[in-house]
Amino acid sequence: MSSSAALKLIREDDRRDTIPFERRRAKRHVVGGNVTAVRTDFTEDAHRHRITSLQMLNMSDSGLAAICQERIDLNTPIVVFFPPHGAERGFDAYGHVVRCKNRDHGHELGIEFDMRPAA
């Protein structure tokens, strides 16, 4: 059995991704600073560690990546409080934890914001 298909050399500038692996729906922006988050579930662990500080890594319209000192279970509901800055008003973002990875310096959280109607 022989094949008539020939091999083709692909140059670096000809390379294109044929399968997109990017799953983000919104563009991420690198951000810094700390914000306060409150777990809104009613477990005993949430009661003991209800308020936590998050060190922000990046943010988009649909979510936030941050470092937290304690582990937070997946799907835990959470509210992130963004304080006022200059003339800008502060706001609260409601969401839930979609990723929690142990790192040397804490836990890296992925928080997906819930789309809530403006009140």
59 or 8: whose pLDDT is higher? 59
Domains annotated for the chain, with CATH where assigned, are: 26-113 (2.40.10.220)
pLDDT tens track for 80-113 = 999 998 898 999 999 999 999 999 999 999 999 9
pLDDT tens track for 12-39 = 555 455 444 445 556 777 888 999 999 9
What pLDDT score was predicted for residue 18?
Answer: 47
What pLDDT score was predicted for residue 12?
Answer: 53
pLDDT tens track for 31-79 = 889 999 999 877 766 566 789 999 999 999 899 999 999 899 999 999 9
What pLDDT score was predicted for residue 98?
Answer: 96
Amino acid at 38: V
Is residue 3's pLDDT more than 90?
no
